[in-house]
Amino acid sequence: MATSLKNLSAYDAADVPDASALSIGIVVADWNIEINNQLLKGAVDTLRKHGVSDANIFISRVPGAFELTYGCKTLAESYEVDAVIAIGTVIQGETPHFNFICQGVTYGISELNLSFEIPFIFGVLTVNSLEQAQDRAGGKHGNKGVEAAVTAIKMALLS
């Protein structure tokens, strides 16, 4: 499970390259939408902070985490983006399908990384409770959306 030691919003801004030339796609799941909107805000704020313009941030929504793979694929095929971030939250306490959904989206996003020439970033919380999700969506463990955005910039500019 997500680390209890690392703050997901903590990073060295000096280590992040200028992102003003980048276009970034973000696909957000509707399940656990309040948590996901916090993750989305963390991601967008971070992209803006490092120079990505609003015109170059493409956001689409899908029903649940299981649909993130197809949503990311469709977005990558529809827009000229340099990276795509998948945002979702799967909470074990609320779903007997937890392992299936987690495995499905993890495998799907991994496959996209091998199939396309751009990186796909895993901004998905897989947690035991709503409280753990809140802790990682702007709470005491930071915001996974911030971590995902920093990762997207670094991976898009990987040389």
Q: Is 32 in the site for ligand DLZ (CB under 6 A)?
A: yes
Q: How far is the CB of 62 from ligand DLZ (least distance, A)?
A: 8
Which amino acid is residue 115, in one-letter code?
A: S
C-alpha–C-alpha distance, residues 33 and 16, integer Å: 28
Binding status of residue 101 toward ligand DLZ by CB under 6 A = yes
* Contact with ligand DLZ (CB under 6 A) among 25, 88, 142, 145: 88
DSSP designation for 116? S
Q: Using the rule CB under 6 A, is 93 a contact of ligand DLZ? A: no
Q: Least Å distance between CB 126 and ligand DLZ?
A: 9
d(CA 137, CA 70): 24
Neighbours of 159 (CB within 10 A): 3
Residue bearing tokens 């390259």: 17
Q: Identify whether 97 is a catalytic site residue.
A: yes
Window contacting ligand DLZ (CB under 6 A); options: 49-57, 77-85, 87-95, 115-123:
87-95
Contact positions with ligand DLZ (CB under 6 A) in 33-72? 63-67
Eight-class DSSP state of 118: S
CB-based contact 84:75 (threshold 8 Å): yes
Q: Which residues are catalytic?
A: 97
Residues near ligand DLZ, by CB under 6 A: 29, 31-32, 63-67, 88-91, 94-95, 97, 101
